Amino acid sequence: MIQKCLFPAAGYGTRFLPATKALPKEMLPILTKPLIHYGVEEALEAKMDTMAFITGRGKRALEDYFDISYELEHQIEGSSKESLLDEIRELMEKCTFTYARQNKMLGLGDAILKGKPLVGDEPFGVILADDLCLNEDGFGVMKQMARVYEKYRCPIIAVMEVPKDEVSKYGIIEGDVINSDLISISNMIEKPQPNEVSSNLAIIGRYILTPDIFDIIENTKPGKNGEVQITDALLTQSKNSMVLAYKFKGLRFDCGSIDGYVEATNYMYKKKFENV
Ligand code: G1P
């Protein structure tokens, strides 16, 4: 069973400035819960109970969110508002939270490498909380992936089809079809131009990685945008052993963009208040 889930959360969230000047983008709420809360719930559903955060400057709100706020709790104790804290209290009881900082923005690969002391020598999940994934009809995406991992015991990357003219926003994978959900990866490119790839299968912010990835990242040179890319490290790994792409079931909202964030908010609002 995979116990730990890494949450790279050091990025600036510039698309949401000025809001993200003093607020981590992972703390932006969809209705009443911040994005990070949904990510932790998803990991917990997959039986991962140790949440390892990679934070950076200006991200202390994340640590405070998963801690007791004595003044607030004292104020609302015994009142009708107290139940509003039930969900976060439940998460806090069930999980352990650990933290490491990335002090230079050197890319997602580097952020994941900063998690090495928190993760140790075990397979682990990775959730990018600004990709909000929901599956009303069944298991959440991380749990779906944990099940695939149990069977294949190799790194698993969540993918979905995107319009061809949007491939340059994502890491794109190519490979051999194993079945309707799984592809054995033979190539992956971070944010390619449409003419550089034959596929439109985009990486979404959910990974199950094995600990040998840390050494590979250490030897991965900066790639796209001068950053150390997890996509490049996984490509190296896929040359020596199997790396699988998994077409997950469910919806994904790109909450790192204003459009996706508003879509997610509308979707959740309808679900909660209009029973759609
Ligand atoms: C990261 C990954 C990219 C992936 C994307 C999913 O990019 O590098 O491969 O497709 O997350 O959201 P970012 O969006 O952080 O630039």
pLDDT tens for each residue of 186-234 = 999 999 999 999 999 999 999 999 999 999 999 999 999 999 999 999 9
Mean local confidence (pLDDT), 239-248? 97
Architecture of domain 4-273: Alpha-Beta Complex (3.90)
Mean local confidence (pLDDT), 169-188? 97
Per-residue pLDDT at 245 exceeds 70: yes
Per-residue pLDDT at 250 exceeds 80: yes
Ligand 1 centre distance from Cα of residue 171 (Å): 6
Per-residue pLDDT at 66 exceeds 80: yes
Within 6 A (CB) of ligand 1 lie 108, 128, 131, 170-171, 190, 202-205, 229, 231, 256
Whether 9 and 129 have beta carbons less than 8 Å apart is answered as yes
Per-residue pLDDT at 275 exceeds 90: no
Helices (H) and strands (E) in the chain, counts: 10, 13
Per-residue pLDDT at 6 exceeds 80: yes
Phi/psi at 6 (5° precision): -95, 135
Confidence of residue 276 (pLDDT cuts 50, 70, 90): low
Ligand 1 centre distance from Cα of residue 274 (Å): 32
Q: What is the pLDDT of residue 178?
A: 96
Would you tell me how many other CB atoms lie within 10 Å of the CB of residue 258? Answer: 11
Pocket probe mutation, ligand 1, options 35, 54, 108, 234, max atoms within 8 Å of Cβ: 108
Kind of pairing between the strands at 251-254 and 131-134: antiparallel
* Nearest atom, ligand 1, residue 256 CA: 14
Ligand 1 centre distance from Cα of residue 206 (Å): 10
Whether 216 and 229 have beta carbons less than 8 Å apart is answered as no
Nearest CA to ligand 1 atom 7: 170
Mean pLDDT of the chain: 95
